[in-house]
Structure 1
Amino acid sequence: MSAGSPLGVPVHSDPPGGYRAVGVWGLGVTVYFVAITYRTSLGVAALDATRRFDINASALSTFSILQLLVYAGMQIPVGLLVDRLGTKKVLTLGVVLFTAGQFGFAFSESYAAALACRALLGCGDAMTFISVLRLGARWFPARRGPVIAQIAGLIGMAGNLVTTLVLARLLGAFGWTATFAGSALGGLVLLVLVVTLLRDHPKGYAVVNSPHVDGGYVRRQILRTWREPGTRLGMWVHFTTQFPGMVFLLLWGMPFLVDGQGLDRAGAGELLTLVVLSNMAVGLVFGQLIARHHAARAPLALGTVAVTAAVWASVLLWPGHAPMWLLVLLCTVLGACGPASMIGFDFARPANPPERQGTASGIVNVGGFTASMTTLLAVGVLLDLTGGSFRAGFASIFVLQALGVVQILRLRGRARERERERVVASRVEAVHVPVSR
């Protein structure tokens, strides 16, 4: 332990982890899990929404695009808030917002009111994942970071399963208002638990921030974080890997499988569930690999992009309907996109000090959701222009993948060199820190 820390905090030691860390972090992940169920709840209620609000497919897609737009736009502000205010305050606000959004959606009678509620939900949802990443970094040793982040993503995807398997049945049994209002009760329970039980960090491991915040704080925080090559590399990794799976699950997978490949809704639903299950399984594998072999980060990310592009090309170029084995392979590969996107955070985390972790995570998280919004729009526009050609619509995926790969290759060497410099600097600093006996 060092003797000269401003608050008696260990300067060069990691948080201890342990059962208490699992409990506190687990509560934060539960918030993320519930946020995911709310985020994806519209997916199983799409047909009900068209009847309730008397809207067409284009208006329906606006729900998803608006939600992603709010989510992506909030990432950097949320990162700044987490760094400034701490995890507990930001998560508490997030729970309040997404619960209010879900309750409002339950009772909305007009399209405009429903849109406003989904935007409110997206705002609260945007506050959860970055907070959970920060919570993991403050409660567990750094070497556990990749596994902790992947497990958080895995549990979040389980929320998608709950939506598909449980919420859909409740909607059929009890109707719109009872289902959405009843699910929102979980947010109220979470709010009580977060306020009473959540802690930002273990005792004695507080991050010492500057007590003075002037008008230039936000600009300096963002610029310092952005200047790190690891932050920019992490953003482009997230950009390039996440969006194919996100777009498929969020909106265009079901139409592609039913209208483009001739499957019935039940068979298409099973393939969408396969994407989620694959995501959960691959997440565990990737987390373990990166924790043990730090150099595997870039090869795993680029390999996922290459395999995704190859399988998508095979499906789109197949004459007529693709065979079932190829569609199963596609959905299995798309399940790897989420875990691969988590690698972006593993580039940004070691590139930034603790007081900038939230900002760095926010910048990284903008990448994938920006690509997802772009692709959601591009596929829709191309479908309209080509009379419903999914082959043309999904071709937009390759354009964004190519852009992302170029940026990853451009930044990879700089980030690796900068990481080495930080490791050397930290070792030199550790040697010169006085040690108390």
Structure 2
Amino acid sequence: MLAVGAFVMAAGQLTVALAPNLSTAVVGRMLVGMGDSFTFISMIRLINGWYQGAKASKVQQYVATVGQLGQFFSAVPFWYMLETLGWTAGFSIMSAASLFISVMVIVFTANEAQSHESRKHNTPSLKLATQQLIENIRNPGIRMSFWTHYVTQPTTTSVALLWAVPFLVTAQGQSHDFAAATLTAMVLFGFVTGPVIGSICACAPQLRATLVYSVVSLTTTAWIVILAMPSRSPSWLLFICFLAISVGGPASMIAFDFSKDMVPRARLGTANGFANVGGFLATFIMMYLTGLVIDLIHGSSGTLERYTVEAFRWGFASQLLVVAVGVVFFTIERRKFEALAAK
């Protein structure tokens, strides 16, 4: 699956490189996203095939943290390559790199930490995968993993993917350089918080739920501070609050730390796939609600004038509702799991 993911991304990047029009480029971008979805869940499953317990907790957090380098390379080196070499050459080089990675995965990786003779790549049937998914959803621990991802990831992702630049530049009056530096700092800050979160999960797994509540409280407080400002916020406050918001990204890995302890290894792939849906579902809900509220306030004129502090105040306030719903369900499933574990 890792090799397939890299190959699909290579195909998508090449499509973007050679796209004669916007529609074709969008198709290429969809392929890149599809390849990425193969990659992340497969990476988590591969790590748990090689490591167990506390070691797995640390390694999957470390690997996820290193994976954030892609955002940094997109923001700085790849942008420079596009400026220097052009669109077609830049994305063609990225496609070649992804294809090379696909080949390396096939040659050098194995699913489990076993001898070469015992390695088997058995692909379950659709019926078996569906049965595993149903069994996982019935497990309150896996549902807790879903809601963990739901409450931790979306605040960070919705900002990084869509709303950071219009909010910082148009609404807050900051420069594009400040917005770029803030987004880059969010990624780099993950290199600090990610290993810390991984170490806590490994050394004190009983604190994982407390950690979820703490991170949600931190990111929510950061938003409330920004939204409570009567007008534009100072640069230093925006920078600090966005760093606080970025903690949600590394914290979302707690979901997979929960799931690895909840089901047999054979069902871990479908369990992680289900948990992973939580964060992205919440992300898309947040992005849509923010845009919807802004349009309701200023109309869908398509002009930048609608991106005001007041519009974003109400738009981002809708995100708090999404998180609140997630916290309620996380708490419910946590109590169900603890009651089941106590029997």
Instruction: Calculate the TM-score normalised by the size of structure 1.
Output: 0.72
Displacement, 1:218? 3.1
SS in 1 for 2:261: coil
Rounded to whole Å, the distance in 2 between the matches of 1:180 and 1:157 is 19
Equivalent residue for 2:88?
177
For residues 144-185 of structure 1, give each alpha carbon's deviation from its aligned partner in whole angstroms, at most 9, with x where no partner exists: 122112112101111111111101111111221111111111
2:326 counterpart letter in structure 1: G
Matched, 1:363 2:285: no
Whether the 8 Å contact between 1:107 and 1:177 is mirrored in structure 2 is yes
2:283 maps to which of 364, 367, 372: 372
Displacement, 1:136? 0.7
Equivalent residue for 1:384?
295
Rounded to whole Å, the distance in 2 between the matches of 1:171 and 1:97 is 21
Displacement, 1:420? 5.7
1:145 maps to which of 30, 50, 56: 56
Equivalent residue for 1:35?
none
Rounded to whole Å, the distance in 2 between the matches of 1:212 and 1:346 is 24
Whether the 8 Å contact between 2:153 and 2:251 is mirrored in structure 1 is yes
Rounded to whole Å, the distance in 1 between the matches of 2:119 and 2:250 is 28
Whether the 8 Å contact between 2:223 and 2:241 is mirrored in structure 1 is yes
Rounded to whole Å, the distance in 2 between the matches of 1:273 and 1:229 is 37
Equivalent residue for 1:411?
333
Size of the aligned set, in residue pairs, is 331
Instruction: Calculate the TM-score normalised by the size of structure 2.
Output: 0.92
Equivalent residue for 1:287?
198
Pairing 1:303-314 to 2, within 5 Å after superposition: 303-314=214-225
Larger Rg: 1
1:396 maps to which of 294, 298, 318: 318
2:296 counterpart letter in structure 1: L
Equivalent residue for 1:154?
65
Rounded to whole Å, the distance in 2 between the matches of 1:231 and 1:102 is 34
2:232 maps to which of 321, 330, 334: 321
Equivalent residue for 1:220?
131
Matched, 1:241 2:152: yes
Displacement, 1:332? 1.2
Displacement, 1:219? 2.9
SS in 1 for 2:162: helix
Rounded to whole Å, the distance in 2 between the matches of 1:145 and 1:191 is 24
Matched, 1:92 2:14: no
Rounded to whole Å, the distance in 1 between the matches of 2:119 and 2:237 is 50
Matched, 1:231 2:153: no
SS in 1 for 2:76: helix
Equivalent residue for 2:105?
194
Pairing 1:105-144 to 2, within 5 Å after superposition: 105-144=16-55
Equivalent residue for 1:333?
244
Rounded to whole Å, the distance in 2 between the matches of 1:377 and 1:221 is 31
Whether the 8 Å contact between 1:351 and 1:419 is mirrored in structure 2 is no
Displacement, 1:310? 1.3
Rounded to whole Å, the distance in 2 between the matches of 1:171 and 1:391 is 35
Displacement, 1:214? 6.8
Matched, 1:297 2:208: yes
Rounded to whole Å, the distance in 2 between the matches of 1:348 and 1:207 is 24
SS in 2 for 1:352: coil
Task: Specify every segment of 5 or more residues in structure 1 that has no aligned partner in the other structure, as ranges.
Answer: 1-89, 422-437
Question: What RMSD over aligned residues (CA atoms) do the two structures have, in Å?
Answer: 2.0
1:328 counterpart letter in structure 2: F
Displacement, 1:247? 0.9
Rounded to whole Å, the distance in 2 between the matches of 1:330 and 1:144 is 32
CA distance 1:112–1:298, shift in 2 (3 Å): same
Whether the 8 Å contact between 2:149 and 2:252 is mirrored in structure 1 is yes
1:287 counterpart letter in structure 2: G
Identity value in percent:
32
Displacement, 1:216? 3.8
Task: Specify every segment of 5 or more residues in structure 2 that has no aligned partner in the other structure, as ranges.
Answer: 299-305
Tell which deviates more after alignment, 244-253 or 141-150. 141-150
CA distance 1:385–1:213, shift in 2 (3 Å): closer
Whether the 8 Å contact between 1:234 and 1:364 is mirrored in structure 2 is yes
Whether the 8 Å contact between 1:282 and 1:336 is mirrored in structure 2 is yes
Rounded to whole Å, the distance in 2 between the matches of 1:376 and 1:330 is 19
For residues 90-149 of structure 1, give each alpha carbon's deviation from its aligned partner in whole angstroms, at most 9, with x where no partner exists: 112111111000000111122221121111111111100111111111111322122112
Displacement, 1:235? 0.4
CA distance 1:258–1:224, shift in 2 (3 Å): same
Displacement, 1:240? 0.7
Whether the 8 Å contact between 2:68 and 2:187 is mirrored in structure 1 is yes
Displacement, 1:414? 2.1
